[in-house]
Structure 1
């Protein structure tokens, strides 16, 4: 429970588990990995599928486990942030499971995805379209949910950091600023997600480029923001315990 005492905000961290640091970091890495892998496929380069299976599995396991715990523990934190279960927990769970599914495909279908046969250039892209086509429906649905989360962030001015949090707390008097920042990230991910099924179905380079740019940019920002939060969240804990 949060208590505003004479010496500032106090938080009972026993009742406020917080691990969206590793979740943001893993989500950013996951988005970047998707873009990097797709880029290798489109460029016709050889792919070390065993390495990619491991690369996808690591953030996938982290996101699936933390997202599952946050999704099923309602509310995860008793300090007034139940909406975090929906905003962070459910998308992390969905993305983590999708990454684990991709890792399994890379592991089982490695030889087929490693390189194009000389007599059939573009074979891998066609195979990827067949493998990812059914899952792209769920990706599209997640894109719509990202738009809804972004709208909620703007409407209810969510995501604002308290003054006790280093760096982010400097903007505590402007809650719309961080709300716009985080909601904007969800919009970027959502754009890539709703375009993804059409990009996969048609293998159209302009659509693939839209997915790559939006997910690449969002992934980089999520990664950097998650890394920064290791300092800001530690500082928040020190300043409010």
Structure 2
């Protein structure tokens, strides 16, 4: 630890060759993916001119980014020496979400016409996704675990050298609560996903559960996307302020 964080008069020094980080683009892609899920559900219910190809391309782009970065972080553990928990917190959920988006992309590309031709497009898509509900539920419970760990162990706190986020460095519970709530709400949507599929229809009123899942993922998606975009500045600033 002493070799990684070396104190000096001007503040923290980090050997960045020992800690590759790319959770910036992961956060943006994850946020966009959550927004995508809301928009796809809305399109299946409301859009008369539903075109599966565009949705397939979007799911493929986001799924590739999350799968590639999540897989590397899950298998290689780039934070293993100093922050091994970050590999679990960021890597494994990103991998799971990325693979699910790739599966959605493949189905929409190959079988999108089946959904378009269905009398109830939303119900047709829900019937196809229903078996995946088991894994989505499991990941929702996993996100609850991550949220609890964030609170108990006060994870996610940024150092004082990081612009913006570092303002509350002396109060680690602030960022721990903020990030833990984000993970918990995404997990809530995932845990309710199998139930939401039962009331997902374009010919009948949506169930309250389906509406709740959509709103939760939309709001958390927007926050993750904006937070990830902000981190492109804050993480660059942290590197500039701490590099040797």
TM-score tier (shorter): over 0.9
Conservation of the 8 A alpha-carbon contact between 1:47 and 1:113: no
2:184 matched to which residue of 1?
Answer: 187
2:174 matched to which residue of 1?
Answer: 177
- Larger mean Cα displacement after TM superposition, 197-206 or 46-55: 197-206
1:234 matched to which residue of 2?
Answer: 236
1:219 is matched with which residue: 207, 218, 221? 221
In the TM superposition, residue 3 of structure 1 has moved relative to its aligned partner by 1.8
1:161 matched to which residue of 2?
Answer: 158
- Structure 2: tracts of 5 or more residues without a match: 201-205
Conservation of the 8 A alpha-carbon contact between 1:47 and 1:115: no
Deviation sequence 1:76-131 (CA, Å, 0-9, x none): 12552110010000000000000000000100112122354xxx3x2x12211221
1-structure distance, mates of 2:117, 2:232: 39
1-structure distance, mates of 2:112, 2:80: 45
2-structure distance, mates of 1:44, 1:62: 27
Pair 1:131 & 2:132 matched: no
1-structure distance, mates of 2:117, 2:83: 47
2-structure distance, mates of 1:4, 1:105: 52
Conservation of the 8 A alpha-carbon contact between 2:26 and 2:94: yes
In the TM superposition, residue 5 of structure 1 has moved relative to its aligned partner by 2.1
Pair 1:200 & 2:197 matched: yes
Deviation sequence 1:20-63 (CA, Å, 0-9, x none): 00000000000000100100112253211111111001110000
Pair 1:5 & 2:4 matched: no
In the TM superposition, residue 182 of structure 1 has moved relative to its aligned partner by 0.4
Conservation of the 8 A alpha-carbon contact between 1:157 and 1:179: yes
* Structure 1 runs, 4 residues or longer, greater than 3 Å off: none
In the TM superposition, residue 9 of structure 1 has moved relative to its aligned partner by 0.5
2-structure distance, mates of 1:44, 1:78: 46
SS in 2 for 1:160: coil
1-structure distance, mates of 2:48, 2:89: 37
Conservation of the 8 A alpha-carbon contact between 2:41 and 2:122: no
Conservation of the 8 A alpha-carbon contact between 2:137 and 2:190: yes
2-structure distance, mates of 1:89, 1:229: 17
1:108 matched to which residue of 2?
Answer: 110
Question: CA RMSD, aligned part only?
Answer: 1.2
2-structure distance, mates of 1:4, 1:227: 29
